[in-house]
Every structure is written in structure tokens, then in C-alpha cells.
Structure 1
């Protein structure tokens, strides 16, 4: 039970920062709780709704949301979500798990390289 609490809390903190709690929640559900990949991703989608609403409220209140181009991003995000949903439903869980794993590896490497590039340019990479 404590692991479930920790996974949810850490995922919520990361979601509130705008990073995406699924990076923590999905691996926790699949590795620690031995859930099937598709089940973990579906739980993540449901988990995302209340955390996103709270994050939007807080960021909007603090005026940290860039509104220019927001409509286009939302529309293309919805189109991408529809396409991604159809793809995910038709893939085997094991393939979906591998794709997600590679996505995390690529994003991690990208962040490391971004930080190194920032340090070479004389700033801290932020």
C-alpha cells in the first residue's frame, strides 16, 4: 500500500510541474505491481484528468500559461491522441511496453544532451 501511495504522490508532483506523471506511474504500475501495460496506461489516462485540471488551475492563477498558439496545440494534441489511441488498442501489450521504454530512453538522452549543451554555452541548461 505504501508503494502505491508513493507512486501516486510522486507522479502527482511531477504532473503538477507539467512534466507528465506517466513517466513515474506507468513503470511503477508495470514493474512494482505487475500490471499489464495497457491497464497501466489506461489508469494513467484516468489519473491524468484530475491532476491536469489542478495543474491548469494553479498555472493559470500564476499566469504561467503561454496562450499564443494554445488552440492549435490543443487541436493537434486531440488529433494525435485519437491516432495514438487507435494504434495502442491494436498493439500487443508487450510491444506497447517496449515502445514506451524506448520513448523514455530517448527522452532521457535528449535531456542529458540538452543539459550538456547548456553547460557548454555558459548557463545551467535550464
Structure 2
């Protein structure tokens, strides 16, 4: 149970920073919690709601939100979430885990070589 607390705490910190708690939460739930990929992703999405609300409130208070951009990203994000959920349901847990791993590696490589 202490592992789940630590995993949740780290995930929340990462989420609050805007990095995406799922990069910590999903692999940690699979490795340390023995949870199936589909379940780990659903837990991540459920945990994302309150952390996102807190992060939005803080960023809104600090004036860090560009509303016109946020509206377009929200609309396209909803469409992408519907498509992605539909696709994930049809994939095996192994295929979904491999796809997620490849995605994390690509993003890691991108961030490593990105010029700031």
C-alpha cells in the first residue's frame, strides 16, 4: 500500500509540473502493482481528473492560459481521446504496453535532442 501512495505522490508532482503523470503512473502500476495495461491506463485517466483541475486552477490564477489555443487543443483532444479509447479497447494488453513503451522512448529521444 505504501508503494501506491509513493506512486501516486510522484505522479501528482509530475502532473502538477505539466509533464504528464502517466509517464510515471502507468509504468509504476504495471511494474510494482502488477496491474494490467488497460487497467493502469484507466487508473491514470481517472487520477488525471483531480490533478488536472488543481493544475488548471493554479495556472489560471497565474495567468498562464492562452484561452484561444486551449479551446482548440481541448476540442481536438476530446476527438483524439475518443479515437484512442476506441483503438485501445481493440488491442491486447501486450500490444498496448509495447505501443506505450515505444511512445515513451520516442518522446524521451525527442526531449533529449530538442534544443531549448
TM-score norm. by structure 1 comes to: 0.89
Could you tell me how far apart the structure 1 residues matched to 2:31 and 2:7 are?
11
Higher percent of residues as helix: 2
**Who wins on radius of gyration, i.e. which is larger?**
1
Shift of 1:68: 2.7
Instruction: Indicate whether 1:3 and 2:30 are aligned.
Output: no
SS at match of 1:18: coil
Could you tell me how far apart the structure 1 residues matched to 2:108 and 2:69 are?
27
TM-score norm. by structure 2 comes to: 0.96
Using CA pairs below 8 Å that are at least 6 residues apart, which structure has the higher relative contact order? Answer: 2
Give the match for residue 88 of structure 2.
Answer: 88
Structure 1 gap segments, 5+ residues each: 119-124
Instruction: Indicate whether 1:70 and 2:70 are aligned.
Output: yes
Give the match for residue 18 of structure 1.
Answer: 18
Shift of 1:17: 0.9
Could you tell me how far apart the structure 2 residues matched to 1:5 and 1:112 are?
29
Could you say what the CA RMSD is over the residues aligned between the two structures, in angstroms?
0.8
Structure 1 stretches of 4+ moved >3 Å? none
SS at match of 2:35: coil
Give the match for residue 122 of structure 1.
Answer: none
Shift of 1:101: 0.3
